[in-house]
Amino acid sequence: MSSSVAPSAEPTPGFWASARESIAGTQQDFTEGSIGRAILLLAIPMVLEMSMESLFGIVDVFFVARLGSDAMATVVITESLLTLVFDIALGLSMATTAMVARRVGEKNPDAAAVAAVQSIVLGIVSSVAIGVTCVLAAPRLLAWMGGTRAIVETGSVYTATVLGGSITVMLLFLINAIFRGVGDAVVAMRALWLANLLNMALVPCLINGFGPLPRMGLLGAAVGTTIGRGLGVVYLFWMLSRSRRRIDIRREHLRLDFPVLLRLTRVSLNGILQFFIAMASWLALVNLLARFGSDALAGYGVAMRILVVALLPAWGMSNSVATLVGQNLGAGKPDRAERSAWLTGLFNMIFLGVVTLVFLLFSEPIIRVFTQDPAVVPVGVSCLRYVSYGYVFYAFGMVMLQAFNGAGDTRTPTIVNLFCYWMWQLPLAYVLANVLGMGPNGVFLAIAISESTVAVVGVVMFRRGRWKLQTI
């Protein structure tokens, strides 16, 4: 009589083993196995990637703040204008991640490669058009955003350089979105690390002059950042050319595929509108704050960049759910896609809850790291405290909206943003700041309230489950 022993299931690697694997690079199938492990493998490099993206603004602010409030205000206004580029880049990247992830889930690598090529074509065409337009209109754009005559005179070249180099922003976002869609998030992380190391080295040297490098002042920040991003893009193109990665773009894929291009454009347009609504609301808030003077604008700029340090890693964590939802829907596993979203939301809420406590307890010391201006510090402290009140709610809301995007349903988040920002945030900010006399604090409170509303509405819409039927 013989006996047989059933093979035991392979044990799931622990946290630290999974963390090391996520940073080193992984070839996991994210439609199988532990959902928690899948989130970890994707989220760690995505969190580190988005942390690096936030450093571009932080480095510029840290060094530019020493050039005076007009220089700081110029950076704040230009970064606000650059959000229009981010809007298009994010819209295209959301559609790219969704389409590439769906094709990967369907086990169709050739279709994933074709989709990737079409997204790069769209990115190049749109960024060239934006860059040329903004270079020619830089002085008028600064004036339109409420910049004083001194800001327009001294900051136009900086603004033209940053916006003229927007192709580096676009391609950095898009090619990173391709790698996120195939589940190879570590490449995107490395690209941002490279770009930021170069940025941190070049910006102070070009602002102040070092060795053979000229002393360029404010313009040096723009030149250093653009070069850093550009070399990050070069690295990404190099990685795309390597056939051993998850996505294999070969010569036969380098063509226009109009059906895919049109589908990608259709999904992207809703994504672009989705982010345009949010970005336009932000621009309106900057314009509203500009009416309270350069000190209010500078304090807001410092605080928002600090807030972004926490928010972009959280955004990185939520990006992981877009990949998981897209791949699992492609594999015909909608329930697994839904579980991925709820679990990611929980992790994100815990993380931003801890960040909120830190900001509430240490807001003034954190602000003073970046500026000692007695008129700017109180505004920055208030902004840091008020806006962070909504972080715990927004942590869940941003994951829900990214789940919609990962499914290719960019229309639902667009509707949520339209209601929560244009119909709620902007009127509320105006009333609190001007009618009720709260000044800049009214704007900051409106941000916290509206972002919390995004979370509530996003969860309600997600629970309806219509996103599971989305095709792309």
36-82, pLDDT tens digit by residue? 888 888 888 887 777 676 666 677 777 887 888 788 888 878 887 88
The first and second tokens of residue 351, run together, are 């993380």
CA angle, residues 170, 176, 178, in degrees to nearest 5: 105
Q: Is the pLDDT of residue 8 over 50?
A: no
Q: Is the pLDDT of residue 9 over 60?
A: no
CA pair distance 352, 3, nearest whole angstrom: 53
Hey, where are the domains in the chain?
33-469
CA pair distance 451, 446, nearest whole angstrom: 8
Q: Specify the pTM.
A: 0.81
| pLDDT tens sequence across 377-434 | 899 999 999 998 888 888 888 999 999 999 989 899 999 999 999 999 999 999 999 9
Q: Is the pLDDT of residue 446 over 90?
A: yes
CA pair distance 96, 321, nearest whole angstrom: 14
pLDDT band at 15 (very low <50, low <70, confident <90, very high): low
Q: Biggest alpha carbon distance in the chain? A: 95
Query: Residue 24 burial (CB < 10 Å; 0-12/13-18/19+)?
Result: exposed
pLDDT at 365: 92
pLDDT at 57: 66
Query: Residue 167 burial (CB < 10 Å; 0-12/13-18/19+)?
Result: buried
CA pair distance 221, 5, nearest whole angstrom: 66
Residue 329 main-chain phi, psi, to 5 deg:
-65, -40
pLDDT at 96: 93
Q: Is the pLDDT of residue 10 over 60?
A: no
What mean pLDDT, rounded, does the chain reach? 86
CA–CA distances in Å: residue 147 to residues 70, 110, 131, 137: 9, 49, 20, 14
Q: Read off the pLDDT of each residue in 112-122 and give the average, rounded to a whole number.
A: 92
Contacts of 289 by beta carbon, 8 Å cutoff, 6+ apart: 296, 297, 300, 440, 443
pLDDT at 327: 93
